Amino acid sequence: GTVSSAGDVAGEDELVKIASVVASNTPSSRAIREAFIPYIEEQLPGEYNIQIYDSGVLGSESASYAYTKTGIVELSLLGSSMWSETPVMASTDFPFMFRDVEHARRAYQGELGDFIAEELNAAQPVTLLSWLPNGSRAFSSNQSLETIDDFQGQRMRMPNNPIHVRLAEALGANVVIMDLGEVFTALEQGVADGQDNPIATLRNEGWYEIQDYIYNTNHMVASLHLFASDYFLAELPEDHRQVFEEAALLASDYAWDLYIEQLDEDIAFVEEQGVTVTELTPEDRERFIEMLQPVYDYLDSQYDWAEDIREMVDNIE
């Protein structure tokens, strides 16, 4: 195994803790380490001792969010676990909301991101500083999976989440629900033919060895959010606060660049391993959206703003 070098945390400067729920080698955690922290240290030398804690070691997503709200961690990099308190956050999990990863990036860094941040900042003692990438989902299978018709009758492993399950059902697949940890065995033993996850997961978990097809649907492009506690921000001098905000935007760009670069690398890697990767055509995307009408009906019944938000994102260039 590899070990990251680690030193003593203590120092003269004020300790600023960043709780990250993703691993240290992900583009977003790397962006904090390689762009966010260096920028602040360069602009405000000797003021802050910024430490990032990866992989959720300071607490689960919801615990880290609670810690950010009280200010015992100053910043956090989290997924979307705070839905119950801020329902609009659920929109980031709507299927085929984005045309592709670049479109998702523009939406999160633009109008969609601003819209959600505004709701959240008003309701919670936190400030959403910027949006970073988490993972874009693609389907994979050991059966032929090159067009939308191929889903018919395939056994697809889905996470235990109503939107995901309804999505696979609407495509005509038979849904198998199980924990992420069991996926490899299930695919190997044929309990499931396929699954949907970011291609990076497929690569890291070695699933490409037992999967022959990837349909790069990008049907959900999940994000991470860099939050700051309002208690922490309130104590910052105005010019320092500005530096933190600039650093956050810088980290966002850095992470998306890194993510897209890595995505291309991951695709090249699995293709080298003999996996057939099919990109989604605009026509097929239209057909997906038609077939997923039951899912959109379900979302509309759950959230009265669901349709507006889809339209807003669709209008983003």
Partner 1 sequence: MTLVVFLVSLIIAVMIGMPIAFSLLFSGVAIMIYLNGFNSMILSMNLFAGADSFALMAIPFFILAGEFMNRGGITQRIVNFANALVGHIKGGLAYVSILAILLFAAMIGSAVASAAALGGILIPMMVRANYKRDKVTGLIAAGNILSPIMPPSVPLIIFGVQAGVSITSLFIAGIVPAIYLTVILCATWFIVSRKDNLQTNERQSVTQVLKALLDGLWAILLPVFILLGLRSGMFTPTEAGVIAAVYALVVGVVVYRELKIRDLLDCLVTAAKASSVIMFLAAAATVSSWLLTVGNVPQIMTSVLEPFIDQPVILMLIIAVLVVLIGMALDVTPIIMILTPVLLPVVTAAGIDPIYFGVTFVLMCMIGLLTPPVGNVLNVTSKAGNISMERMVKAVWPFLLAEIILIVLIILFPALIEVPLRLLVGN
Partner 2 sequence: MQKTLDRLFSLIDILTGILTGLMVAFVFYNVVLRVAFNSGLTWSEELARYLFVFVTYIGAISAMRSNAHIGIDTLLARVNDKAKLSLYIITQLSIAGLMFLLIHGSIGMISANAAQTTAALAIPFPVLYSVGVLTGISITLLALGNIVHAVKNKENIGQIVKISSEEDDLVEEAEASAKEHLEELVKEDRA
Chain residues in the site for partner 2 (CB under 8 A)? 69-71, 84-85, 125, 231
Q: Following DSSP, what letter does each residue of 90-124 receive, concatenated?
A: GGGG-TT-SSSHHHHHHHHHTHHHHHHHHHHHHHS
Q: Nearer to partner 1 by C-beta: 85 or 314?
A: 85
Q: Whose CA is closest to 142, among 178, 183, 179, 181?
A: 183
Residues 136-175 within binding reach of partner 1 (CB under 8 A): none
Residues 169-228 within binding reach of partner 1 (CB under 8 A): 185
DSSP 59: -
Distances (CA, A) of 255 to 33, 196, 219, 283: 10, 22, 20, 30
Contact in structure between 316 and 105 (CB atoms under 8 Å): no
Give dist(CA 295, CA 163) in Å, integer: 7
Q: Nearest distance from residue 125's CB to partner 2, in Å?
A: 6
Provide the greatest CA pair distance for the chain.
62
Q: Which does 81 bind (CB under 5 to 8 A by kind): partner 2, partner 1, none?
A: none
Helix (H) or strand (E) segment spanning residue 166: helix 162-170
Q: Which does 166 bind (CB under 5 to 8 A by kind): partner 2, partner 1, none?
A: none
Q: Nearer to partner 1 by C-beta: 179 or 261?
A: 179
Q: Which does 30 bind (CB under 5 to 8 A by kind): partner 1, partner 2, none?
A: none
Single-letter amino acid code for the residue at 201: T
Place of tokens 């033993």: 189
Q: Nearer to partner 1 by C-beta: 71 or 110?
A: 71
Q: From the list 38, 59, 159, 172, which residue makes contact with partner 1 (rule: CB under 8 A)?
A: 59
Q: Nearer to partner 1 by C-beta: 149 or 179?
A: 179
Q: Nearest distance from residue 231's CB to partner 1, in Å?
A: 9
Q: Which two tokens stand for residue 75?
A: 């910043």
Q: Which does 172 bind (CB under 5 to 8 A by kind): partner 1, partner 2, none?
A: none
Contact in structure between 139 and 198 (CB atoms under 8 Å): no
Q: From the list 34, 38, 47, 66, which residue makes contact with partner 1 (rule: CB under 8 A)?
A: 66
Q: Nearest distance from residue 40's CB to partner 1, in Å?
A: 17
Give dist(CA 34, CA 86) in Å, integer: 30
> Is residue 8 a contact residue for partner 1 (CB under 8 A)?
yes
Q: Which does 84 bind (CB under 5 to 8 A by kind): partner 1, partner 2, none?
A: partner 2
Name the segment binding partner 1 (CB under 8 A); options: 38-46, 70-78, 106-114, 281-289. Answer: 70-78
Q: Nearest distance from residue 171's CB to partner 1, in Å?
A: 29
Q: Nearest distance from residue 162's CB to partner 1, in Å?
A: 21
Question: Is the CA virtual torsion 57, 63, 67, 69 positive or negative?
Answer: positive
Q: Nearer to partner 1 by C-beta: 63 or 250?
A: 63
Sorted by sequence, the CB contacts under 8 Å of residue 53 that are 6+ apart come out as 17, 18, 19, 20
Which residues of the chain form contacts with partner 1 (CB under 8 A)?
A: 1-15, 17, 49, 51, 53, 57-59, 63, 66-67, 70-72, 185
